[in-house]
Amino acid sequence: MPRYPHVSLPVSEPIALIDATLLFLVQVLLAKHPDLYPTHETEAQPRPPPGVRAAHHILDAIREVHHAIEVYNAALPDTLSPSGGTDDIPF
């Protein structure tokens, strides 16, 4: 059996990659299930088919992961400032 070399791409921002992947997944779900778009009708809607219900569950999970990414990014120290972000002087 031939052995293939291990290929690895360096990812400088794995969280940004995860976030972009989730946004792509939302686009794919909306393209596959246009029923996921919110309706502004006040009438009672019939129960959606199983595929649309499953897609709703996936979208809910994506919202939770996206919120967790926001919380994670907010907890990270500010590394963009020259002094490392621990200086109280605003200049």
Chain-wide mean pLDDT for the chain? Answer: 79
> Is 36 within 8 Å of 48 (Cβ atoms)?
no
* Helices and strands, counts by H and E, the chain: 2, 0
Q: What is the mean pLDDT of residues 53-59?
A: 90
Tokens of 35: 């029923």
Q: How far is CA 11 from CA 14, 16, 17, 69, in A?
A: 6, 9, 8, 17
Residue 58's pLDDT band, with cuts at 50, 70 and 90, is: very high
pTM exceeds 0.75, yes or no: no
Closest CA to 65 of 11, 14, 13, 15: 15
Q: Which residue has the higher pLDDT, 75 or 49?
A: 75
Q: Render pLDDT for 12-49 as a digit per residue (tens, 0 to 9).
A: 788 888 989 999 999 999 899 888 877 766 566 778 77
